[in-house]
Amino acid sequence: MAVTNVALLNASYEPLGKVTFQHAVRMLFRQVAIVEEAHEDRMIGPHPWPKVIRLVRYISAHWLYRPAGYAREGVLRRDRHRCAYCGDHATTVDHLLPASRGGAWTWLNTVAACRRCNGRKANRTPEEAGMRLRLRPYVPTRAQLAALD
């Protein structure tokens, strides 16, 4: 069985994100988390092989509601891997104001795009290329990005 990430829940069952399998096992053995959902056919010591773990004590997650740090993968997740221009599957990130013309790598200047639309827009703004945005870029919180996992 492949080792994957494990979903982490707060004691209140609110999702906090994902942790590595190794981190999840350490949390189980330190008794700071319990298994909520497991692979039924495997064990890791006295614990079932975790898919989802929950913290034993509630942690205040105010940090989750701060703006997320910018990342290319974050843009794709924010836009649900859908092209901002045509709605097809997106694999690239497009600058609304192209980087070559001073556009920054920020949440508000980038959107997910399919290769075809990204190439069609080229080194122009959407208005110059005659392309309409299907969504408006926004700065997501860490919690919003974690919920999209």
At 61-118, the pLDDT tens digits run: 777 788 999 999 999 999 999 999 999 999 999 999 999 999 999 999 999 999 999 9
At 17-44, the pLDDT tens digits run: 889 999 999 999 999 999 999 988 888 8
- Measure Cα distances from 47 to 12, 24, 38, 51, 79 in Å: 21, 11, 9, 12, 37
Topology, domain 65-144: DNA Binding (I), subunit A (1.10.30)
Say what the pLDDT of residue 71 is. Answer: 95
110 SS3 class:
strand
The pair of three-digit structure tokens given for residue 10, joined into one six-digit string: 């707060």
DSSP 146: H
- Measure Cα distances from 116 to 84, 94, 103 in Å: 12, 11, 21
Domain ranges across the chain: 6-59, 65-144
Dist CA 32 CA 14 (whole Å)? 16
**Contact indicator for 38, 49 with CB cutoff of 8 Å:** yes
| Helices assigned H by DSSP within 33-141 | 72-78, 115-121, 126-129
Closest to 138 measured CA to CA, from 92, 96, 78, 58: 78
